[in-house]
Structure formats: structure tokens, C-alpha cells
Chain A
């Protein structure tokens, strides 16, 4: 089992307000790792530390510890942030396709990289849409607006857009929060398909979703990592009383 991401004693603060306390965990490659916990427990903050998308938020800063991706500390001064984010794709809670065509959405990152050859772009778009199980539904209207798709399709389009970059790691911040159960099911099927190729980290509010599609689960509470282990263990034989209370639904 290869470790893809190592989080070591990570402390993180928004404008001086500490939101992550000494989080330490190893995330294994080609597995699905789920972060669960009540709202405000820091799970979204933690996932956003992995591709440094928090940089954009004024006052947000790592106050201690490190995040290493394949043994490289990503908070080093000389990190190539753009390349880092190319290697670590992200899907957000609210699906956010650009107001462009389906094709242009998926081709976005390739165009950023300066690719202009039509045939190559076509291939990238087709492969990404196939990998995100969207191809059959949209192949006849690639140049129609992405906003014409249903919510679930738009979220899968966002996944296609992220994997068109051919990342190593895929971060998903509550990808099903805005979707209905059927669309959620499709995304979950997609996740189990994608983990063959990508290391997936998923934040979820939905505990049955965590049991259905993750291999490892991390339970967080008040900015601390309370328990981390194989999903079955965390849900069936929790070591910590807080975890037990949360997964059995007594609180949270």
C-alpha cells in the first residue's frame, strides 16, 4: 500500500482562529478516504489544504505541521502551485460548470496548458466524459450549454473536467450535497470506478455514503481528528466514544 498524502501535525487558522488542531494521517493511494463529522468540524478545511485552494481566502494560513504529497511538502515556498493543482483535481460541493458548452468545460484545463489541436482536444474530452460516465448522455450535444444538464449531470461534468487534467489525486468536497438520491447513486458508482485510477479523498455529511464507497474513514470533531481507520472498523467497532455517538446517530 503506497501512501499518497501524509498530513503531519497540521494546524490551520483563519485570521488567527484555529480550525485544525494537530491533524496527522496518511492517505493511501488508489483508495477512497472519507472525512466525516458534524458541520464546522474542519473536514472541508482539511481537504482544501491538500490542493492549497484555501490560499485564496484572506487570513487563512497553515500555522504548524505539514501536508506532503508523495513526500513533497506542498507548503514549501518554491512549490509550483499550478502544477500541484493540476496533479490534484477538485470537485466542489455546489456543481460549478462554467457558462460555456459541455465540450469547452472539459477542454478548459487542456486549453490552459496551451493545447489547441482539435483532434487531441476531442480525444481528451471524449475520454474524460467516458470516465465520468457522462459520454453516452451528452455525446450528441457536446456544444450545447452545460447549464442545460441536470444537477447530477453537471456534477459529473465537473468530475470530467477535473479528470481531464489527468490528476493523481481527486478531492471531492461533499460532491452529492446538492443532488437527489438517484444522482447521488450515480456519483457513488462513479467513485468506485474512479478509485482504480485515482486516489480519492471525499468529504461527506452522509454516513451511509461513507460506508458505501470509502475504504478508509476519518472522523473529525472540533478541528481534531478523533478516529481514523478502515471504514468497517470506524462504523462497526469505533474506538472512541465520540465516534460511536456520531456514527450511531446519538449526536450530530
Chain B
């Protein structure tokens, strides 16, 4: 016989304490992660923000963003006033007041001036590698999702591409060094001594020389592009597959060729997805140190990438400074002191802000496009 009174419990609900304990534990773990993130960002903001922001207009230390990186000279004048001047201003001071007016001089590498060089270098590396990676990645994704027969071999290819994503970035750096820096062919009139193989071209005295691009912007871009290719390919293939089959059917049924169908009915509708996923890859490209330290980056450089060059090819074949490498240099290669902290904290803060802007941009763009393109 069913007794309705049994529906009313006596005492606490079943498992009351267990539930509470589990709940407390899980929330504790979650919030401790948030706490770690907050501490990390908080520390960088507290240390770095004062470098970049100022109390008076224009509120941002433009010099730090737009000046070149220089050695910092710290010295006293005869009255005991302490000066901190970047190398260029220091030499002007010396010319004006004479070397005998300098007392207790100390120099700190990389600590004076601003970081326009690393910012420009990172921008160029990012743009170049994204262009390369998008071209190769989207092409491969189109082949994999639109043309290739879904055979075991293609699945193996896809798996290989996915695995590429798990390779540590330092390995990509070494790969880039051994391939792009040392081996890839160039067309030149005077091959270098370390050329592995030269093939005469029969046009005046040009030869194809397998001597690599040496450490240069283009070697860095190619290495970074290799690193993010799996991300781009996977994201692009997903976006391509998300385009309904019906669009392809409709287009083919109207007499479009396969390529016309892809160009007009598949790519345009998957492009927003491809681009937003690629924005996430940008933050990775901009942030990696290991792939560029052997292939493109240089710690100190007087000229900006576009200064003192003969043309675009010259820009591509010269080394650049880069923000993550600059931060590595500031952290590992110079002694830490009160005079170096401005450059150290400031660089990290600027870097973090840049990456945050890119991430935020991709999140906003993604949600906007998602609501716009629905089927």
C-alpha cells in the first residue's frame, strides 16, 4: 500500500553534506584559477601601467611606444643630480657639457628609449606569417574538405596535420633554422660559400643556390606560418564543412563548375569563420619566442625594418626585433635594477595589451558574424 506520508522527508535532504562538500571543493578550485589569473594580470598591470600611462595629457607615454630602443646611461652631474638618458641624448649632453661633467656613470643595455623596433618587427612577422599561413592553410583545407575523397589515406593526412599542432614551438624554431635559414633555394648572382647546391639558370650568371634565406624576416614568417598551419587548416576545414550541403547542391544543379561553386557558394560563407579562428592564431604568432630566435629575431637593431633598405626584398631578408624576444632579452640578458624596470615592465605590459586587444577583437568579431550568418 502506498503511503503518501513517505513523500515528506524527515530531517535534512539525502546527501546534504556530501553535496555541500563537493560544491565547496569545486567552486574553490574554480576560483583559485581565477585568482591566479587575476594575480598574474594584476602584477603586470600594477608594474607596467605606470610606465605607459601618465597623469597629464596625452596620458600615454608616447615616447615609450614610438622611440627606438637604446642603451640607458645613468650618471650624476657635478651638483649630484642624477640623470637617466638614452644613448642619443647622452651623447648630446656630453657634447654640450664635456665628458668631465659626468660622474658615477653606469650603462644599462636595452633599457632606454622606447620599443618601436620590437613592435614594428612583431607586426611585420605577424602580418607576413598570417598571409603565408592563410594562403597555404585555406588551400589545403579546401582540398581536404571539397576535393579529396574521404579515404583512409586522407584521414591519415588529416591526423598528421593535427599532430603538427602538438609539436613544441622550439622544434619549429630549429626546423625553420635548418630549412629556411640554411637550405631553401634563392636565385642570386653570387652564391654564398655555404651553398649546398647551385644550379646555373642560363640567364646571364644567375644561379639557383640552396643557401637558405639566412636569419631574416621571411625565414621567421615561414617558420611561424608552419607552426600555425595546423590551427588554420583545422579551423578552415571546420568552417567549410559548416556550410550546408544544400548550397553546393543548388549551385552545381544550376550548372556551376566545382571551382565556381567553391568560390561563390562555399568560400564567401565560410570566410568569416575562417578569419575569426585565424585571429586566435594571430595571438600565438605574435607571442611565440622560440620559433623566431634562430630564424628572424635580433636583440638590438638601430634601424627600423623599413629604414636604410633598398626595397621590399631587402626588408624581407633582414633581421628584425620582436616583442617576445625583446622581453626575453630584457629578462634574461641584462641585470635587473631600478633603471631597467621601466623597459622590462613596460614591454611586458604593452605586449599583454596588444595580445588582449587581438583576442578581444576576435571574440567580438566572432559573436557579431555568428549572429549575421545563420542558416
Contacts and interface: CB of A to CB of B under 8 A. Distances in A.
A223 to B, nearest CB: 22
Interface string A69-101: 000000000000011111001101010111100
A98 B374 CA distance: 11
A53 B150 contact: no
A109 B255 contact: yes
B161 interface: no
A112 B250 contact: no
Given A96-B246, A147-B375, A89 B265 contact: no
Given A99-B269, A99-B375, A85 B246 contact: no
Which has the most chain A C-beta neighbours within 10 Å: B150, B247, B249?
A: B249
A114 B196 CA distance: 50
A89 B260 contact: no
Nearest to A83: B255
A56 B147 CA distance: 10
Contacts of A102: none
B149 interface: yes
Q: What size tier do the contact residues of chain B reach? A: 20 to 34
Contacts of B253: 51, 53, 85, 89-90, 92, 162
A161 B246 contact: no
B300 to A, nearest CB: 51
Contacts of A112: 254-256, 260, 264
Which has the most chain A C-beta neighbours within 10 Å: B150, B244, B256, B373?
A: B256
A72 to B, nearest CB: 16
Contacts of A84: 255
Interface in A163-220: 165
A219 B213 CA distance: 70
Contacts, number: 65
Nearest to A110: B254
A161 B256 CA distance: 13
B91 interface: no
A92 B249 CA distance: 8
B252 interface: yes
Contacts of B244: 96
A56 to B, nearest CB: 6
A158 interface: yes
Nearest to A164: B254
A162 B254 contact: yes
B245 to A, nearest CB: 9
B257 interface: yes
Contact of B254 (A58, A86, A97, A147): A86
A86 B255 contact: yes
B252 A99 contact: no
Which has the most chain A C-beta neighbours within 10 Å: B249, B253, B256?
A: B253
7 contacts: A53-B253, A85-B255, A92-B246, A92-B253, A99-B373, A158-B250, A162-B254
Closest A-B pairs by Cβ, 3 of them: A96-B246, A86-B255, A90-B253
Given A92-B250, A165-B255, 12 more contacts: A53-B249, A53-B253, A56-B249, A82-B257, A83-B255, A90-B249, A90-B250, A96-B244, A98-B265, A109-B255, A162-B254, A165-B254
